[in-house]
A and B are shown apart, each in its own frame.
Chain A
Amino acid sequence: MSTPHEGRDEHAHPHLQHHFESMAQQYDSGKFGMWLFLVTEVLLFGGLFCAYAVYRANHPEIFAYAHQFLDKTLGGLNTLVLIVSSLTMAMAVRCAQLGQQRRLKQMLAATLLCACIFLGVKGVEYEHKWKHGLLWGTHYVPQGETVAPADAAGAATTAETTAAAAAAPADGGTTLPHAATGPQGLADHSQPGHGGASHGGHGPAGPAPRNVHLFFGIYFVMTGLHGIHVLAGMIAIVWLLRRSAAGEFGPEYFAPVDFVGLYWHLVDLIWIFLFPLLYLIH
């Protein structure tokens, strides 16, 4: 952990709270608290990753089929944007520690800009899904040919992977037909006919497995919750910008910049996991 300046015997800093003995103790406490908070954030997303793992294990064919409707280029662009934003955030922390007020503000603004680009791109992606009915649950009503994946080659490989996924359990030695595994069981019979299967014939992506909407449900919850975290981070950065405009940060006191930085890196990190799990299947 990075050590702050030695502050044991200095005169009480204006930001030193009454119950701490030194700025060092205050900084350490805050930083420790921030790390614990990040642990809870990881666990919050951990629940979603668990749900993802359960459904992916039970219905690999859904994921193999549905992920091709996500735009890898836009997803990759967003990954790049977030990585850059992490860099600018780290530099902002450095500037605060060194007391470079002007560059601090520039770096925070750059981070904010990256966040805006990220959300903008995300918005474009959401709009695309919305327009083509690639939504969750009963709202999943794919719209004909327009949802074709980017190119024919992609479609061909996908068809293969889908077939491979369907065949996989048989290789594993089980004789259960696919529909009997996993939790859907009976629901297959009572389900009057939304879901991918009943829309067979659209698009070149091969036969759509049942319950494709589950993928989009998980996709929207995960990216949606992540998006909310990006928004919260942006609010925190705006708050930092205001405080840095007042020149509050410097070598003596930079804890808020540091802590928001930690949070921002985590938000970035979660996306680094979301991107391959959702966009880059197989």
Chain B
Amino acid sequence: MSTHDATAAPPAVGGENYLNCSHGFRSWIFTLDHKRIGVMYLASILSFFLLGGILALLIRTELLTPTRTLMSADDYNKVFTLHGAIMIFLFIIPGIPAALGNFVLPLMLGAKDVALPRLNLASYHLYLIGALIAVLSIVQGGVDAGWTFYAPYSTTTNTAVVTLTFGVFVLGFSSVFTGLNFIVTMHKMRPAGMGWFDMPLMLWALYATSIIQVLATPILGITMVLLIVERVMGIGIFDPALGGDPVLYQHFFWFYSHPAVYIMILPAMGIISEVISVFSRKHIFGYRAIAYSSIAIAAFSFLVWGHHMFTSGQSDLMNMIFSALTFSVSIPSAVKMFNWLSTMYKGSIRFDTPMIYALSFMFLFGIGGLTGLFLGSLATDVHLHDTYFVVAHFHYVMFGGTVIAFLAGLHYWWPKMFGRMYDEKWGRISAIIISVGFNITFFTQFVMGSQGMPRRYYAYVDKFEPYHVISSIGSYLMAAGFFMTAWYLVKSLYRGRPAPANPWGGASMEWQAASPPVLHNFTDEPVGGDPYDYSNQDYDPATGGYVLRKPEVSDR
């Protein structure tokens, strides 16, 4: 027990750690260390975020005027298809689980690695292969089918649909393997004494995410296989001219892609649960409610796919059932919001960058969630379906929710990952710029959408021009915020103040490892306990971090 504070406050950066224990390209690309795999994932997904972001700026610039601004209609269609496909399959889905989750999951369990490290590496390699195949489709001239690849358009267009869908198929396997690995890890690698309800909520969120990844992604796989077979061999299963059913494709596709939305948002919610509690320095409110709501969301997520097809001509009965089920999935999300808010009540709230992002998440996700009510309700959905209202809604949830939470998590664990503190002032400024820019960009889209502006339009009716101009200006502001973030984060790697082991006062086990951790994570056996109990640590002004109090407080 006496070694705890040695564990908690070792001299940061300098000793041997997972980053400097071996060198060279091969020591990274063939590593079995979950932390290095997480860091490689992080670098990869951020590269694709940059690519997807540039495509987004091209879209916004093109839409500055009602007619041609930069590019032809065909190019525009390819740009928004690739923006969607890259952001979804290459950035958001692997974003939190595979990059941040890989890094923190074993640390939070006090384990040395994930249960199946070779599978973990295979998952990353599959991600790289899938990503390269997907990018190859750009070299082949791009794809213009939209990221949803609706048949029969996708089966008849003469662009590189097969390449991109095959890339998505491979990426699906990567996703399955990550999820499978996490489930096994949480079942088999929990330390003695840590029950399911002693896990940090981030792990509950990752667990729920992994369930969806394992259960839903195979359907995406078979859907992509059928689409490829349809295109290459003309099997006719989605081709109405051959007696096939194009609406069946939509069922298949959304049976995966709606749960996939929760693959994106659930781990984001996990991060928010950690950050809100730690920065309020208060035990999370309603631990069990939040944990159960994660599982409830995962379960409900499989039952609502039909709400993407309210106008497709499916029967009124099906529409009614799917509408009702859709509303049911909003409840667990609302419960989480209330619990986070209650966690702040009577806390001691510190506004570091992760917390700014977490508050921003609650604002943006609140709007994203509430606008979902308009879309779940049948009569209003008919009007709003496939308009910019939907575009705004899912950007509020995916970007305002997931990406903002990803940034919260990135800043929260950055000191742990790289052993350096970033510039706090610039962190806060960028967080605010990104949030403001985001609202300017996408709130306008709610208005133009409910006014009737359809999505995926290259040219548009003049009356929508002012909205588009405001939206585009917002996107430039947001881009500026991201470049600032990139700048100070990269700078921190070289110039950042060495990070203490526990800069924020977190009570989950990853903060007992050094920053950055050693190769096998912990130099001493970490101490278990309630991950939200902050009473046994003290602030140490010398390092600017928190250390475990020495006395025997371990059994409470």
Given contacts A43-B219, A47-B218, A138-B234, contact A32 B248 (CB under 8 A): no
Provide the residues of chain B in CB contact with A191, threshold 8 Å. 241-242
Provide the residues of chain B in CB contact with A185, threshold 8 Å. 240
Q: Are A40 and B236 in contact (CB under 8 A)?
A: no
Interface residues of A in 26-60 (CB under 8 A from B): 28-30, 32-33, 36-37, 39-41, 43-48, 50-51, 54-55, 58-59
Q: How far is the CA of A44 from the CA of B234 in the complex (A)?
A: 21
* 9-residue interface stretch from A90-98, A207-215, A270-278: A207-215
Q: Are B236 and A41 in contact (CB under 8 A)?
A: no
Q: Are A190 and B241 in contact (CB under 8 A)?
A: yes
Tell me which of B116, B181, B243, B246 has the highest count of chain A C-beta atoms within 10 A of its own C-beta.
B243
B382 to chain A minimum Cβ distance, whole angstroms, is 22
Provide the residues of chain A in CB contact with B218, threshold 8 Å. 40-41, 43-44, 46-47
* 9-residue interface stretch from A7-15, A17-25, A160-168: A17-25
A227 to chain B minimum Cβ distance, whole angstroms, is 13
Q: How far is the CA of A28 from the CA of B187 in the complex (A)?
A: 10
> Does A69 have its Cβ within 8 Å of any Cβ on chain B?
no
Instruction: Give the residue of B214, B223, B252 whose beta carbon is less than 8 angstroms from that of A40.
Output: B214
Interface residues of B in 196-242 (CB under 8 A from A): 214-215, 217-219, 221-223, 225-226, 229, 233-237, 239-242
> Does A184 have its Cβ within 8 Å of any Cβ on chain B?
yes
Provide the residues of chain B in CB contact with A136, threshold 8 Å. 233-236
Q: Are A32 and B236 in contact (CB under 8 A)?
A: no
Q: How far is the CA of A185 from the CA of B235 in the complex (A)?
A: 18
Q: How far is the CA of A218 from the CA of B112 in the complex (A)?
A: 46
B12 to chain A minimum Cβ distance, whole angstroms, is 24
> Does A183 have its Cβ within 8 Å of any Cβ on chain B?
yes
Instruction: Give the residue of A18, A36, A51, A225 whose beta carbon is less than 8 angstroms from that of B184.
Output: A36
SS of A interface (majority) = helix
Q: Are A33 and B119 in contact (CB under 8 A)?
A: yes
Provide the residues of chain B in CB contact with A4, threshold 8 Å. none
> Does B346 have its Cβ within 8 Å of any Cβ on chain A?
no
A134 to chain B minimum Cβ distance, whole angstroms, is 14
Provide the residues of chain B in CB contact with A245, threshold 8 Å. none
Q: Are A36 and B180 in contact (CB under 8 A)?
A: yes
Nearest residue, chain B, Cβ from A44: B218
Q: Are B237 and A29 in contact (CB under 8 A)?
A: no
Interface string of A180-217 (1 = CB under 8 A from B): 00111111001100010000000000000011011001
Q: What range describes how many residues of B lie at the interface?
A: 35 or more
A216 to chain B minimum Cβ distance, whole angstroms, is 9
Interface residues of B in 114-157 (CB under 8 A from A): 114-117, 119
Provide the residues of chain B in CB contact with A183, threshold 8 Å. 240, 243-248
Q: Are A18 and B520 in contact (CB under 8 A)?
A: yes
> Does B188 have its Cβ within 8 Å of any Cβ on chain A?
yes
Q: How far is the CA of A56 from the CA of B466 in the complex (A)?
A: 52
Q: Are B229 and A36 in contact (CB under 8 A)?
A: no
Tell me which of A55, A182, A184, A217 has the highest count of chain B C-beta atoms within 10 A of its own C-beta.
A217
Q: Are B245 and A221 in contact (CB under 8 A)?
A: no
Given contacts A25-B188, A191-B241, contact A217 B219 (CB under 8 A): no
Q: Are A40 and B243 in contact (CB under 8 A)?
A: no
> Does A137 have its Cβ within 8 Å of any Cβ on chain B?
yes
Name 24 interchain pairs, CB-CB below 8 A, sorted by A: A18-B112, A19-B113, A19-B115, A33-B115, A33-B116, A33-B180, A33-B181, A39-B214, A43-B215, A47-B221, A47-B223, A50-B252, A51-B248, A59-B243, A137-B239, A138-B236, A138-B242, A183-B243, A183-B246, A183-B248, A186-B240, A190-B241, A217-B235, A220-B235
**Residues of B at under 8 Å CB distance from A?**
106, 111-117, 119, 176, 180-181, 183-185, 187-189, 214-215, 217-219, 221-223, 225-226, 229, 233-237, 239-248, 252, 520
When A and B form their complex, which 5 residue pairs have the shortest distance between CB atoms, in order from nearest?
A211-B243, A47-B222, A19-B112, A183-B245, A43-B218
Not counting A19-B114, A32-B188, a sample of 20 additional A-B residue pairs whose C-beta atoms are within 8 angstroms of each other reads: A18-B113, A25-B188, A29-B115, A29-B185, A40-B176, A40-B218, A44-B222, A46-B219, A47-B219, A47-B221, A47-B222, A47-B223, A50-B252, A59-B243, A137-B239, A183-B240, A183-B243, A190-B241, A211-B236, A211-B242
